[in-house]
Amino acid sequence: MESFKHHFPIFENESNQALAYFDSASSAQKPKHVIEVMNRFQTSSYANVHRGLYRLSAESTTAYENARRTVANFIGTDENHIVFTRSATEAINLIANTWGTQHIKAGDIILLTEMEHHANIVPWVMLAKQAGAKVEYASLLPDGSLDMKSYEKALENNPKLVAFTHVSNVLGTINSVKDMVSQAHNAGAITVIDGSQAAPHIRLNMVDIDSDFYVFTGHKNYGPTGTGVLYGKKELLDAMPPWQGGGDMIETVAFDNITFAKAPAKFEAGTPNIVGTVGLAASIEFLNALGWGVIETHEKALSEKLEAELINFNGLTLYSRAVNKIGVFSFNLNGIHSSDVAMVLDKCNVAVRTGHHCAQPLMKALGTEHTIRASIGLSTTEDDIDQLISSLHKAQKMLG
């Protein structure tokens, strides 16, 4: 199987050459192309955007807006639908504090699922408390997939807003988002999808999915931290009020009156993360250059290998068993705390995530307070999987 590890300079560092990195679901390592593009931009074309008439500012503005087009093409839409944010978390908060405060009223229902990341729970709970609304949750099946009967039953209560993850950050479960959106729309709801775990692994098309809003983050997508994307249907973005005030989101400012720019500019107050946005576009260029067929084949083969190893591991409880999933696996060694296991794995140069993974309601549904999570990315190899499994055996022998 072809290895893509050579694209990631961090593994060239002497201290990291033996590292098996299984935390891409938290934050993916950065490919050489992204690092080089960001460095080249900062040393040749950097200036503030949308403000200067000089050459560097024009070049910087062009690079920034070209990044918007690159992102739009990446998810099958046009740039008028793309708002740049600091993260998926900020994008969800933006929706909650604009569309949400306009439309969610006392007695309304917001429908979520039990598998949501806190970023797709906390803003809605805060909004519901502020408005006097109610938050309800669709439940899971024992294999870690969404119980569609529970979802459909909850839609009978006519929620005003339905928000759900495209792919679970704990279980790797891929939800049937197109069907879920269609069903929510039939119930009269607006939809929000958290696509942070989907964007690096699944070819996206906003026209096909038809969600009203879709968000994802840059740093899981092989781009830099501090970058995020909010997709919104144009008619919704146009009708939403600004969230943050400042430079670049205005049309005119007088002492007694302000008029605002059109979307998406009205949601991008202040100097943006220009370099990071250029880096986000570079991460998409990297993925496009590899090709989605290559990416999916590579990750599918590694996921099948790791899943088989975990299923056959005696004394291990695997929580993520959905048929339709990506390479994210949550498990525990029976009778051993996940943090103790992770410390042994670290000594074996294996990096995994432990804890509740910003998904405490999901942990409760799974009947545990914490898990070990191993997630596969483009930097993962077959040798990494062998290293993880042998290290788990060592941890079990030491701590069991």
Mind listing the domains of the chain with CATH numbers? 5-24+291-399 (3.90.1150.10), 35-288 (3.40.640.10)
What backbone phi and psi angles, to 5 degrees, belong to 165? -85, 145
Please give the pLDDT value at position 51. Answer: 86
Angle at 30 between CA 27 and CA 224, to 5 degrees: 65
* Tens-digit pLDDT profile for residues 37-85: 999 999 999 999 998 899 999 999 999 999 999 999 999 999 999 999 9
Instruction: Give the SS3 label for residue 257.
Output: coil
State the average pLDDT over residues 29-39: 98
Which residues, other chains included, contact 378 with Cβ-Cβ below 8 Å and sequence gap of 6+?
4, 7, 24, 28, 31, 222, 290, 295, 298, 299
Provide the mean pLDDT of the chain: 97
Instruction: Give the SS3 label for residue 392.
Output: helix
Please give the pLDDT value at position 250. Answer: 85
Angle at 356 between CA 354 and CA 359, to 5 degrees: 140
Measured over the CA atoms of residue 100, residue 105, residue 110 and residue 116, the dihedral's sign is positive
State the average pLDDT over residues 190-201: 98
Confidence of residue 1 (pLDDT cuts 50, 70, 90): confident
Confidence of residue 282 (pLDDT cuts 50, 70, 90): very high
State the average pLDDT over residues 291-314: 97
Please give the pLDDT value at position 2. Answer: 82
Give the HSE-up count for residue 191: Cα atoms under 13 Å, Cβ half-sphere. Answer: 26
Q: Is the pLDDT of residue 400 over 90?
A: no
Alpha-carbon distances of 174 from 149, 170, 199, 205, rounded to whole Å: 17, 11, 12, 15
Catalytic one among 10, 358, 365, 399? 358
Q: Is the pLDDT of residue 380 over 90?
A: yes
Alpha-carbon distances of 24 from 102, 211, 219, 374, rounded to whole Å: 36, 26, 9, 8
Decide the pairing of beta strands 353-355 and 350-351.
unpaired
Confidence of residue 118 (pLDDT cuts 50, 70, 90): very high
Q: Report if pTM > 0.85.
A: yes
In the beta sheet, which residues pair with residue 232?
Answer: 213
Alpha-carbon Rg for the chain, nearest whole angstrom, is 22
Helix 338-347 × helix 382-399 angle, to 10°? 120
Q: Is the pLDDT of residue 240 over 80?
A: yes
Question: What percent of the chain stands above pLDDT 90?
Answer: 94
Question: What CA dihedral angle connects 197, 203, 208 and 209, to 10 degrees?
Answer: -10
Confidence of residue 252 (pLDDT cuts 50, 70, 90): confident
What backbone phi and psi angles, to 5 degrees, belong to 373? -125, 125
Confidence of residue 228 (pLDDT cuts 50, 70, 90): very high
Please give the pLDDT value at position 310. Answer: 98
Q: How far apart are CA 262 and CA 334, in angstroms?
A: 55
Q: Is the pLDDT of residue 135 over 80?
A: yes
Q: How far apart are CA 120 and CA 53, in angstroms?
A: 41
Q: Is the pLDDT of residue 126 over 90?
A: yes
* Tens-digit pLDDT profile for residues 80-113: 999 999 999 999 999 999 999 999 999 999 999 9
State yes or no: is 358 an active-site residue: yes
Q: How far apart are CA 399 and CA 177, in angstroms?
A: 41
In the beta sheet, which residues pair with residue 111?
Answer: 136, 162
